Structure 1
Amino acid sequence: MKRRTWILSALGATGALVVGWGAMPARSRLGSPELMLPTQGDVALNGWIKIAADGAVVLAMPRSEMGQGVHTALAMLVAEELDVPLARVRLEQAGADSIYGNVAMLVASLPFHPLDSEGEHKPAKIKLAEWMVGKIARELGINATGGSSSVADLWEPLRMAAATARASLVQAAAAAWKVPASEITVRDGVMQHASGQSAHYGQMGAAAAGSTPANITPKARQDWKLIGQSAARNDIPAKVMGQAQFGMDVRLPGMLFAAVRMNPVLGGAAAPMDTQAALALPGVSQVVALDAWGGGTGGLAVVASNTWQARQGAQAVKVQWPEAETGAADTVRIQAHLLDALNTESGFTFHEQGLPLKAEQTAVSRIRALYGAPYLAHATMEPMNCTAQVKDNKVDIWVPTQVPQMARAMAAKVAGVKEEQVTVHVTLLGGGFGRRLEVDFVGQAVQVAMACKGAPVQLVWSREEDMTHDFYRPTHLAMFQASIDAQGEVSSLRIKSAGDAITPRWMARAAPHLSGPIDMPDKTTSEGLFDLPYGFLNQHMSHVATKSGVPVGFWRSVGHSHNAFFSESFIDELARTTKQDPLAFRLKLLKDAPRYAAVLQLAADKAGWGKPMPAGRAQGIALHKSFGSIVAQVAEVSVEQGQIRVHRVVCAIDCGTVVNPDTVAQQMESSVVYALSAALFGKIDIVGGVVQQSNFPSYPMVTLSQAPTVETHIVPSTRHPAGVGEPAVPPLAPAVGNALFALTGKRQMDLPLKV
């Protein structure tokens, strides 16, 4: 078996430096107490945990809450190890130290085939690559919420930090009471001894400070009381009561408001403008020309006493936007270029095994298919916004962001100050989906604030600006070719895809100091194609990376979101062509992938696969692994009055150890609705560099009446936790498309789906 892959490498000034650095142990993520924010009455025990005077626990929170329940899940890990009620864990924003960086997300970027890289018996080269990238990630300390990686990344560091803090507190009590630490029990944050002595954590916090016991291990699985149990999310009460602070909720004394109006052409610059009419409107104070920050688009911002006045002022500005240059982005031309690339370029080989060319030469027949997916917008419920204040050579920003360090770097760049002079206040996010991994809107807000003479200003995009100036999921094409042998079995599978690579474009605009001049192969382009679990003996998967000029970014589940539609639709096509049941066909090919087979079988059983359907309905099935989790879905579909109707979606998931089962179910439901909107309606068209869809009437979402019933079934597991926020997105479109084929006999090869 031959698999081609690439490994990220770290290069120092000399070979000796690299060898010396590589021999050093991985940087500890426990951190020192000085990293915690100093607050009156609280005692920091390490870089993650403080103990309040009343015995409550304060957790440094480095991840953003955007509805995925991460603030609750991570608090549960701490509450479990410290034996305190979940309600007694309070959160404060973590600082910028490297211990808070997301190591798991970077390690997951390595493009290894999952059947090679799972479990304890992975090859030495994979272990080495993961170890090296983990070390690099610890040094870089990139704090990002994305890739469904938060719990996976902090599973061990947080439990270790909490377990160490608990041991320090127990040790302090033992010293004060002059009893063995082993005789002290803890319940609900209260330490007790058989002699009758007791104290809550707050009473021993000062005595425990400076103590870091060695040889600490987190609780054994059989001792868990909270992990694995459903728990109410800690962010819900404030949201229900209207007390939660999202970016647009920020209010500061003397605050001004700004609305943007950007060049209609993606990537265009600001233009000469007549501001007289705008400045004559009530409340409008000034108009600021905006540069194109963070790979975005230039334009203007109008500052006023409230958002409505600012928006009216922005529309009143007279601007002569220049005509789009020849060759401006156009989706029809881009898709023609992708097709040409598929036919003329070999691309980068992500995976190869067996002898596919030989199998093709001896085949009795071949099946070819071309699949396509369009550009998509993120369409977060809360449009882009940022509140900024530039005063006394310091910058404060209040921002819903997935990348606080990159937001800080952008603010410092625009204001011309050092990063240490910028304070980032991360609010709740009204949807992220990858859009808030960008910092273009942060640059705009700081530029406007610099013109406001020390007053804080809240910059908010309209829905139209948000929709027409996104960083879009790329449009991709994929060509499939399979060979059928004399026995009627599939003897080879060849896949070549084409489309823009996201990661190098994102790195160049969000972290140019980390981005090199040469594009490395980007796993996100081929994920969901090169890493299929099916046991075809002969395979070849490659990708042709293109540069369309359209700003592209990470969209919920990234490359998996369209590649799963391509691959699982074609797998279904192979089953039908070889006259096999789609479930049985997949299971036969999964004999060496029992985890996948178990998830697939569970979904099929719970959905009643193979049983008679009501008249006019059919089922479709799909299986996909992404972000460490395996998800299978069965969709029950009909066509009513010429419209596709999805009645029921049954999900099965193996996501490793589950922290909060309720959150898993919530994310499966969220993913299904988000993916269904894209599958049925999602499409961004660009003509002359201008996006044609500008609001929900032209870019619809699934409504409540259109939403299906979603059932979630979790496979018990003792593996390390894996992702939950994104893995249920990819299999939805192919499950629905496969059901439509069963219902109509028409194979859907392009998104969005249509009758």
Structure 2
Amino acid sequence: MRRRTLFLGGAAAAGALIVGWGLMPARSRLGSGALMLPGERDVALNGWIKIAPDGGVVLAMPRSEMGQGVHTALPMLAAEELDVALTSVRIEQAGGDAIYGNVAMLLGGLPFHPLDEEREDGFGRVKATRWVVGKLARELGINATGGSSSVADAWDVVRVAAATARASLLGAASLQWKLPVAELAVKDGVVTHTSGKSASYGELARYAAATPPGSVALKPRSEWKVIGQPAPRLDIPAKLDGRAVYGIDVRVPGMKFAAIRLCPMLGGSPGRVDAAAALAMPGVERIVMLPAYSGSTAGFAIVAKTSWHARQAAQAVQVEWQPRPAGALDSRRVGEELERQVRTGSGFTFYEKGSADAAERDAARVVEAWYRAPFLAHATLEPMNATARFRDGRLDLWMPTQVPQLCRAAAARVAGVAVEKVEIQVTLLGGGFGRRLETDCAAQAARIALDCGGEAVQLLWPREEDTMHDFYRPMGVAQLRAAIDRSGKVASLRIRSAGDAIQPRWMERNIPALAGPVDVPDKTTAEGLFDAPYGFAHQHMEHVATRTGVPIGFWRSVGHSHNAFFAESFMDELAAELRVDPVDFRRGLLKDAPRHLAVLELAAQKSGWGSKLPAGRAHGVALHESFGSVVAQVAEVSLEAGQPRVHRVVCAVDCGTVVNPTIVAQQMESAVVFGLTAAIHGRIDIHDGVVQQGNFPSYPMLRLASAPKVETWLVQSNRPPAGVGEPGVPPIAPAVANALFALTGRRHRTLPLAA
């Protein structure tokens, strides 16, 4: 692996500086109360917790709510440690300080096998690397919602912040009453003493702010009353009665509306533009040309009094579009190139064990299969949008985003102002799935606002532009080979795959200051392949990172989304080759992975694996770990008019400590529907540089009538919480494909399955 070295006064000085920094304690994420938004009468006790006059708790919220339930899960952590009802906790948007950065998300990107740290004795290579990267992540403080990391990241810091606030409140009561802290108790936000003295948090807050917390201890698991219990989501009432504000709901007095139109050819640009007819239409005010901001395709926007006027006028503009300078993109040619790269390209080996070469030379036979997955769009229910206002040298943004700090920075660059001159209000997200980890819409909205004379303007992408100018899930191709020895056992597994690396392309367009001239190996390209739990004696997992030119980005469950299809479908192929039951085959390879085995056993038991099914139906199974969680799914499938129909999905999950079991179940259901949509229907085709899919008729979703029954079963665990929002996506495609093989004898190696 090639590495870049930072030289500060010579290599020796740089090395000493890095070692010295690495040995220093990690920066605290508690923060001071000055970091929280000043309230009229609220009292901040640290950078995460304020106390309201009525004793209610205010929690700084650095993560975006996009349906995953984080605006309920994080308040549950605070409610537990502060001994208050969940309904007593409200949230406010966190500021931009580094304490709110997502450390867990960066740690999740380290390319280690998930069993490596568990096997490691003491402070070895894996733990040392995690320590250094964790420290770096604290310094960078990148506030992002992604990687199924919100609860995992908050698990320690929010509980410690709440426990520290509790300690200060108890200390304040102790000083006021001149009684030992050990004699005081807390319940429902009230501090009491057996003498009858009592005071609410609201009464004690002002004194607590000036009281050092002293000894801080987290509540033992045996005393939990909130964590682990099903609780109604706090965001649902406002969504039901219409009070909830999404990006497209933002309204500012005097606001204008803008519709975007980008070059139909990805990477192209507008040439000659004739906007005379459009500008003459009623309600239309101006046209704003838009360069290729943050990796987007160039185009223009029309500003008008209503979104309808803007959209109609945008279509009336006459444009001579210019193609991409490097030539038009074509998905068929991309697929051919990826296969060529698998056969002949130079790849990076993410994992190697034993000698696959020797096992193949000595094999009785070698089983080989090729698997393919297409580009995919995110298709969020709420199209891309942002509202911006530039007035008196300051820029205000209102938008649904997963990366508010990066959007501020992108907008500031466009507006030509310091980041401190940009304020952003993060609304609810009508779906994110990784698409809102991008900053293109923020940059475009800022550019449009510069031309609007101090008035706010809301940019709303039409659905067709959203689908045709996405940052797509990369296309992937993989060759899988297994050596069967003379005793009839699988001796080795070799996987070579090819596809674009997301991380370096995302860095280039969104954090250019941190992007380097040389791409380092990107875990997302091979995750789900190199980190499988199966105990094959000989393994070789290699990926060839390509650069096709198609705009690519993070898509819900990222590389796991298609790599699980490759790996788990091939596992079934091997079981069939050996004439072994698919569940039994996996059982025999999981002796060193007890978590995975327990999850597999639970899914098999609850689904009735091996029992007789109604005529015309079959079971398929898949087991996969992603984002720290292990998920096994058994799909019950039939064919209707020649197309797959999934009737029931049994989902077993080990996601560590469960904060809210209801949210976990909701996320598994969501992931199954999302994953089935992609598995059965999803594909993006590019011809002559133009994406062929536009709105939902050509990029269909799974319909309600076709949605399966989903049952979620949880494995009890004392491990810290792991991801929940994404791990349910990867297993569903291979589970359905494996069921189709059991049903028809035909092996599906290319997605989508309905193709």
What range is the shorter-chain TM-score in?
A: over 0.9
Q: How does 1:290-329 map onto structure 2 within 5 Å?
A: 290-323=290-323, 325=325, 327-329=327-329
Deviation at 1:6, TM superposition (A): 9.4
Per mean C-alpha deviation after superposition, the further-off stretch among 171-180 and 91-100 is 171-180
Deviation readout 1:477-522 (Å, 9 max, x if unpaired): 0001111011110011100000000000001101011111110000
Give how far 1:279 is off. Answer: 1.2
Change (3 A) 1:11 1:203: farther
Distance in 1 separating the partners of 2:601 and 2:499 = 33
Q: C-alpha separation between the residues in 1 aligned to 2:216 and 2:48?
A: 16
Task: Show the counterpart of 1:106.
Answer: 106
Counterpart-to-counterpart distance in 2, 1:345 and 1:385: 40
- Give the Cα separation in 2 of the matches to 1:16 and 1:585: 51
* Structure 2 residue aligned with 1:587: 587
1:478 equivalent in alignment to 2:453:
no
- The residue number in structure 2 matching 1:159 is 159
Residues 265 and 690, structure 1, Cα contact 8 Å, conserved in 2: yes
Match of 1:370 in 2: 370
Distance in 2 between the 1:368 and 1:212 partners? 65
Q: Quick one: distance in 1 between partners of 2:139 and 2:698?
A: 45
**Any gaps of 5 or more consecutive residues in structure 1?**
none
Secondary structure at the aligned position of 1:303 is classed as strand
Match of 1:431 in 2: 431
- What is the match of residue 669 of structure 1? 669
1:413-443 deviations in Å (ceiling 9; x for gaps): 0000000111010000000000000010111
Post-superposition offset of 1:530 = 0.3
Q: Which stretch has the larger CA shift, 483-492 or 320-329?
A: 320-329
Residue of structure 2 equivalent to 1:37: 37
Residues 210-289 of structure 1 mapped to structure 2, 5 A cutoff:
210-289=210-289
Amino acid at match of 2:135: K
2-structure distance, mates of 1:709, 1:317: 48
Distance 2:747 2:384 in 1: 38
Relative to structure 1, the CA distance from residue 522 to residue 604 in structure 2 (aligned partners, 3 Å threshold; closer, same or farther) is: same
For 1:618, give the aligned amino acid.
Answer: A
**Percent identical residues:** 63
Distance in 2, matches of 1:731 and 1:121, equals: 31
**1:8 and 1:110 in contact (8 A); partners too:** no
Q: Is the 8 A contact 1:270 1:290 kept in 2?
A: no
Structure 2 distance, partners of 1:551, 1:636, is 36
Residue 192 (structure 1) shift: 1.2
Q: What is the CA distance between 1:211 and its match in structure 2? A: 2.8
Partner residue, 2:680? 680
AA at the equivalent of 2:503: T
1:704-741: CA deviation from partner (whole Å, max 9, x where unpaired): 00000000000000001000000010000000000000
Corresponding residue for residue 542 of structure 1: 542
Does the residue aligned with 1:566 lie in a helix, a strand or coil?
helix
| CA distance, structure 2, for counterparts of residue 35 and residue 12 of structure 1 | 33
After the TM superposition, which of the residue ranges 158-167 and 7-16 deviates more from structure 2? 7-16
Cα distance in structure 2, aligned partners of 1:619 and 1:309? 52
Partner of 2:125: 125
Structure 1 residues 205 and 654: alpha-carbon distance in aligned structure 2, compared to 1, 3 A threshold: same
Pairwise mapping of residues 248-647 of structure 1 onto structure 2 (< 5 A)?
Answer: 248-323=248-323, 325=325, 327-647=327-647
Match of 1:93 in 2: 93
Tell me the residue number matched to 1:69: 69
1:10 touches 1:18 (CA, 8 Å); kept in 2? no
Greater displacement, 212-221 / 440-449: 212-221
Conserved? CA contact 2:296–2:469, under 8 Å: yes
Does the CA-based 8 Å contact 1:380-1:432 persist in structure 2? Answer: yes
For 1:255 and 1:371, locate their aligned partners in 2 and report how far apart those are by CA, in whole Å. Answer: 50
Change over 3 Å in CA distance of 1:654–1:12 after alignment to 2: farther
Deviation digits for residues 428-485 of structure 1 (CA, Å, limit 9, x no counterpart): 0000000000010111100000000100000000000000000000000000111101
* Structure 1 residues 106 and 736: CA distance shift in structure 2, 3 A: same
User: Which amino acid is the alignment partner of residue 210 of structure 2?
Assistant: G
- Which residue matches 1:84? 84
* Paired residue type of 2:136: I
Q: Give the Å deviation of 1:186.
A: 1.2
* Structure 1 pair 12–599 and aligned structure 2 pair: CA distance change class (3 A): farther
SS in 2 for 1:142: coil
Whichever residue aligns with residue 439 of structure 2, its letter is V
CA distance in 1, matches of 2:583, 2:544: 31
Query: Equivalents in 2 of 1:751, 1:590: separation in Å?
Result: 28
Distance 1:8 1:633 in 2: 42
AA paired with 1:737?
Answer: A
Counterpart Cα distance in 2 of 1:219 and 1:347: 48
Cα distance, 1:214 vs structure 2: 3.5
Q: Given that residues 378 and 433 in structure 1 are in contact (C-alpha distance below 8 angstroms), is that contact kept between their aligned partners in structure 2?
A: yes
Q: How far apart, CA to CA, are the structure 1 residues paired with 2:752 and 2:47?
A: 47
**Deviation readout 1:247-306 (Å, 9 max, x if unpaired):** 000001111110001111112223321111111111111111111110001111111111
Aligned to 2:59: 59
Cα offsets for 1:154-211 (capped at 9, x unmatched): 1000000000000101110111111111111111111111111111101111101133
Per-residue CA distance 1:604-635 (angstroms, 9 max, x = gap): 00000000110000000000000000000000
Are 2:740 and 1:740 aligned? yes
The residue number in structure 2 matching 1:23 is: 23
Deviation at 1:11, TM superposition (A): 7.1
Q: Give, in whole Å, the separation in 2 of the partners of 1:208 and 1:12.
A: 45
In structure 2, runs of 5+ residues without a counterpart are: none
The letter of the residue matching 1:311 is R
Corresponding residue SS for 1:493: strand
Counterparts of 1:122 and 1:754 in 2: how far apart (Å)? Answer: 49
Q: Is the 8 A contact 1:374 1:475 kept in 2?
A: yes
Asked if the contact 1:8–1:129 (Cα under 8 Å) also holds between the matched residues in 2, the reply is: no
Corresponding residue for 1:202? 202
- 1:23, CA displacement in angstroms? 1.9
- Give the TM-score normalised by structure 1: 0.98
CA RMSD between the two structures: 1.4
CA contact (8 A) 2:267 2:324 kept: no
Letter in 1 for 2:292: A
Structure 2 residue 691 is matched with structure 1 residue 695: no
- Aligned counterparts of 2:119 and 2:248: Cα–Cα separation in 1: 44
**1:114/1:531 contact within 8 Å kept:** yes
CA apart distance, 1:212: 3.2
* Aligned mates of 1:237, 1:716 — CA distance in 2: 30
Displacement of 1:7 in angstroms is 9.4
**For 1:683 and 1:454, how far apart are their aligned partners in 2?**
42
User: In the alignment, is the contact (CA less than 8 A) between 2:623 and 2:633 conserved in 1?
Assistant: yes
- Shift in Å, 1:21: 1.3
